[in-house]
Structure 1
Amino acid sequence: MLILQKQIKLIQRPTGTPTKEDFEMVNAPIGDISEGEMLVKTVYISVDPYLRGRMNDTKSYIPPFELNQMISSGVVAQVVDSKSSLFEKGDMVLGSLPWQEFTIAKDNTVRKIDHTLAPASAYLSVLGMTGLTAYFGLLDIGKPKEGETVVVSGAAGAVGSIVGQIAKIKGAHVVGIAGSDEKVKFLIDELGFDAAINYKTQDVAEALREACPNGIDVYFENVGGEIADAVFPLLNNFARIPVCGAISSYNNEQVDVGPRVQGYLIKTSSLMQGFTIGNYASRFGEGAKDLATWLTEGKLKYEETITEGFDHTIDAFLDLFKGSNLGKAIVKVAEIEKY
């Protein structure tokens, strides 16, 4: 009997902000596994802002998605059938997998995770690529010292929320920038930020001057645009600026234009460095160990916005550009089965 499953494909390259018309949900047969392969059931799908860049046909640090092919991202899945000596039925795995309900995966393309140590979804957030992005970007480039001031944009998002907490662990004065009063309250009351700014209702430049009386030593950049413009005049000498993202411009149809940063960088001898998590692949074990330790010790909290159902995956992705998510945005596709 032919068994069908749902898949999500990119059928046209978005112009500006993506819409549902850029995607198509189709039914396709699951197929059979061969030696060294497993059939895995998608349990959680990670939806991330960087996927927007892969929808453009432009050169980047990662190849663009092909038209009429499935989108892929971080996925937690469960093995339901195996012809691999490395995995057995019931194992939980993590990998970059297509947006579909089931995947035939080679055993060297996924790694086993232990969901008894932390919820399986955490491997897409605090213990996954977002946690590692925060860890290496802040500690390897930002290098916060005790008593310094760290400012984080997109602070209530998946990466920013972890960045601020690691900065607090390192003894810094931490200021977050977010887009709602609810998020501001969350950053201060739940995550222990020293101050937080609602960029939609406050004058960011003025609020930063008040929240950072000693200037800014580290600015973790997730947003770009006018928020970044407000940060640069407050940089201290030898400030460090890890550039993780610039979500404010991802959907712009024209090149983003704003104040030039060179003068600020020269005047303060500041370092501004872009990075991607792939730069640190050889050190993932180091970061994962520290993150897991801090999580176990109660020094790290994490929040997830979980959307239920594979049919709502596109909605969850589009909501990223509305600022709807608190913490990591994840789609729950299926329950974990006991075998």
Structure 2
Amino acid sequence: MPKNKQLVISSFSNDIREATTVMETDIPHINADQILVKNKYVGINALYDRELYRGRVPYIKVTFPYVFGVEAVGEVMAIGKNIKNVSVGDSVSTVKVGTAYQEYQAIDAAEIIKIPEATPEYLTINPTGVSAYLALQNVAELKAGEIIVVSAAAGGLGHIVVQLAKQKGCHVVAICGTEQKEALLTSLNCCNQIINHRKTDVDSFLSTEYANKIDVGFDSVGRHMFDAFLKNLAPLGRLVVSGLATEINEGVFQKVTGPRVYERIYWKGASVRCFMNHLYKDQHPEAREVLFSEYREGNLQVKVDPTPFRGIEAITEASEYLLAGKSCGKVVVTL
């Protein structure tokens, strides 16, 4: 009889290989209001995952063994007797903490999204593309013609952000760290400037070319990148924090001795803001429809990292690959 292979957190550790175990369980039974989905592709969120297996996500209680992973796309294998709007064989997207890193999942019908096909591209749009759309709309409040600077611009989130910003007629400055990422950003044909931070000092470049001109800084790196963006915000500029990669990589927040942040922003009327996707859940349907339409019509390129990762066992390797800064586009594992 087929089994359900899962990657679970079995103990807390700083190392994913020490923290996790591959285990096999029975394929889950569904109740009258649930759907059984066979996951086809899962998305890797290595930084969030690492905080989970370190036991440092304050709103998640991890009990061992804990299935983790957030987003997947797959095929409906069975439906509960109360389900009316979904059929066996439909392609669906699921986004729920503690569900993705397994071959089969039982999930409430209200938590699935029907999609045209279960592909890595639709996996990237929901939820990563949704995050880009909602962060620009609600937190950045990006306006036509503004200057936006984006760190980690060739990542799963960043490469959507730069395209959506260009669609609004903005001047887009994209920051990345490898020649392969430069090539990806060039292929999008939407960036006015591409900065490889391993070749060019970001602080010096922005302080020379964009001093007091950054309307929106979109940062998921932190530390030196945050400081360079903050320093060069325009009057009424907005610095959007969408991640803390450097702090999380180090495992501890850097202790800073110096003037408080408002010393940099008060006289400009500027602001520092943070984005969390789940706080805008009521807007997810609208964002998905816009992005699905843009993708179908060819107005949005969705880039998936070309490195192949296959099977539940490959999730740890894919996570290490992403944490090493090697990714170009969204990192996806095929199940």
Is the pair's TM-score, using the shorter chain for normalization, greater than 0.5? Answer: yes
**Residue in structure 1 matched with residue 216 of structure 2 by the alignment:** 218
Question: Contact 1:151 / 1:216 at 8 angstroms: preserved in 2?
Answer: yes
**Residue in structure 2 matched with residue 93 of structure 1 by the alignment:** 92
2:104 is the alignment partner of 1:81: no
CA distance in 1, matches of 2:212, 2:150: 16
Q: Classify 1:28/1:278 alpha carbon distance in 2 versus 1 (closer, same or farther; 3 Å).
A: same
After TM superposition, the structure 1 stretch with the greater mean CA deviation from structure 2, 298-307 or 163-172, is 298-307
2:318 is the alignment partner of 1:320: no
**Residue in structure 1 matched with residue 310 of structure 2 by the alignment:** 308
Q: SS state of the match for residue 70, structure 2?
A: strand
1:37 CA drift (Å) = 3.3
Aligned residues: CA RMSD: 2.2
CA distance in 2, matches of 1:299, 1:284: 20
1:122 CA drift (Å) = 2.4
CA distance in 2, matches of 1:285, 1:189: 29
Query: What does the per-residue CA deviation read over 1:175-212, in whole Å, with 9 as the maximum and x for residues that have no partner?
Result: 01111122123213424211111112321112223553
Q: SS state of the match for residue 135, structure 2?
A: helix
After TM superposition, the structure 1 stretch with the greater mean CA deviation from structure 2, 50-59 or 219-228, is 50-59
1:286 CA drift (Å) = 2.1
Moved over 4 A (4+): none
1:231 CA drift (Å) = 1.9
Question: Contact 2:148 / 2:215 at 8 angstroms: preserved in 1?
Answer: yes
CA distance in 1, matches of 2:196, 2:43: 26
**Residue in structure 1 matched with residue 50 of structure 2 by the alignment:** 52
Question: Contact 1:195 / 1:211 at 8 angstroms: preserved in 2?
Answer: no
Q: SS state of the match for residue 108, structure 1?
A: helix
Question: Contact 1:56 / 1:64 at 8 angstroms: preserved in 2?
Answer: no
Match of 1:113 among 112, 115, 120: 115
1:75 CA drift (Å) = 1.3
**Residue in structure 2 matched with residue 252 of structure 1 by the alignment:** 250
CA distance in 1, matches of 2:326, 2:61: 25
Match of 2:150 among 152, 165, 185: 152
Q: Classify 1:69/1:214 alpha carbon distance in 2 versus 1 (closer, same or farther; 3 Å).
A: closer
Query: What does the per-residue CA deviation read over 1:10-50, in whole Å, with 9 as the maximum and x for residues that have no partner?
Result: 122233xx331211111222244443333321101111132
CA distance in 1, matches of 2:70, 2:122: 13
Identity of aligned residues (%): 26
**Residue in structure 2 matched with residue 179 of structure 1 by the alignment:** 177
Tell me the TM-score normalised to structure 2 length: 0.89
Question: Contact 1:157 / 1:327 at 8 angstroms: preserved in 2?
Answer: yes
Question: Contact 2:42 / 2:100 at 8 angstroms: preserved in 1?
Answer: no
Between the two proteins, the alignment pairs up a number of residues equal to 325
Runs of at least 5 residues in structure 2 that lack an aligned partner in the other structure? none
Q: Classify 1:294/1:98 alpha carbon distance in 2 versus 1 (closer, same or farther; 3 Å).
A: closer
1:139 CA drift (Å) = 1.9
After TM superposition, the structure 1 stretch with the greater mean CA deviation from structure 2, 254-263 or 69-78, is 254-263
**Residue in structure 2 matched with residue 337 of structure 1 by the alignment:** none
CA distance in 1, matches of 2:195, 2:292: 29
2:4 is the alignment partner of 1:5: yes
Q: SS state of the match for residue 286, structure 1?
A: helix
Q: Classify 1:293/1:83 alpha carbon distance in 2 versus 1 (closer, same or farther; 3 Å).
A: closer
- Which runs of structure 2 are paired with 1:204-215 in the superposition (5 Å)? 204-212=202-210, 215=213
**Residue in structure 2 matched with residue 134 of structure 1 by the alignment:** 132
Query: What does the per-residue CA deviation read over 1:283-334, in whole Å, with 9 as the maximum and x for residues that have no partner?
Result: 122212322333234332110125232220111122221112111111111x
Tell me the TM-score normalised to structure 1 length: 0.88
